[in-house]
Amino acid sequence: MQVGVPREIKTDEQRVALTATGATELVARGHEVLVETGAGLGSGIPDEAFAAAGARIVATAAEAWSAEMVLKVKEPVEGELDLLRDDLTLFAYLHLAAAPELAQALLERGTTAIAYETVRAPDGSLPMLAPMSEVAGRLSVTHGASLLTAPQGGAGLLLGGVPGTRAGHTVVLGGGVAGTAAVEMAVGLGSRVTVLDVSLPRLRQFDTIYGGRVQTLHSNRVTVEQAVLDADLVIGSVLIPGAKAPKLVTNDMVARMRPGSVLVDIAIDQGGCFADSHPTTHRDPTFRVHETLFACVANLPGAVPRTSTEALTNATLSATLRLADLGWRAALQADAGLAAGLNAAGGRVTHQGVASALGVQETPVASLLG
């Protein structure tokens, strides 16, 4: 199979969907890898490294997109939509529930779209979302701590404080992979930390791990409001796989927060979990809401492309090899977890969460696979 790796063109996106090591594995199994020139530079992977791995370096995006399967990090954006076609398998982060225009383009062109973020492991976890969630969770706290400084427009607060002063209060909404990473980082910086989740077993795990040093609260309207109003830094890390994130923090809550407080929404790829959230970029990461500072960078792990690219390929390579070896139909027939990643095919939506968010009829994956 021909496997294409185009250069990412989303604003400030320096990751690449495949490392040179991944290319080596594909080539060793008889596949042809087409890498757009410069695709790996932001991640520290020069064209020469891909060429040494046996990949063919191509001069244009169109050549990389001409492959039977295209690997990407972020969803196709304007300038790439015309390259979609009905005999293409696209394997990438897609987040279609929050991207109706992209979903419509994929449906109109009949592209087979497999989303990293909805692929399931046997235990029900999301193995391809996990590494980027870990990166985003850790970055969200360091990013938020920086924004709390006065030159950045924050309250002028050191998140961990020093002896004799008040440490900042970090509130983490959602105790999944990203939330866990955020809690770990916030505790490490010396912040006072509260984590909210709807799962009592998950909250018990936090209590066991941190020996009571982290406040755990069952997430509901009342506890979210109480925690947010006492927060200096709020991390939004709520996830419903494939579906839009619920809006947990209202504009009214934000209006009553302490001036200079910071809110970092790492659920923004799925629409965000704060009512006032909208996507921002690394170049222009923040905006004001009342007297607080919002940060909603949609590709936060792109700030550390070397780490993120390696972690992503570690998570996706085995599935990429199966798709290349067997083709998408046979690969999905053989692996129910990978089949859960199919979001669209043949002009039909095949994921329940995406279909619900878009207001369209779901076509069960099994009906397509026979």
Residue positions annotated with a catalytic role: 95, 269
CA distance 195 to 193: 7
Helices (H) and strands (E) in the chain, counts: 14, 15
Give the integer Cα–Cα distance in Å for 192 and 169.
5
Euclidean distance between CA atoms 359 and 47, whole angstroms: 43
Run of H or E residues at 200: helix 200-210
Find the helix or strand (DSSP H, E) in which 197 lies.
Answer: strand 192-197
Task: Report residue 115: phi and psi, to 5°.
Answer: -100, 125
Quick check: 342 and 322 in contact, CB under 8 A? no
DSSP per-residue string spanning 200-241? HHHHHHHHHHHTTSEEEEE-SHHHHHHHHHT-SEEEE----T
State how beta strands 342-345 and 112-115 pair. antiparallel
Three-state secondary structure call for residue 94:
coil
Cβ contact 133:312 at 8 Å:
no
Q: How far apart are CA 250 and CA 9, in angstroms?
A: 33
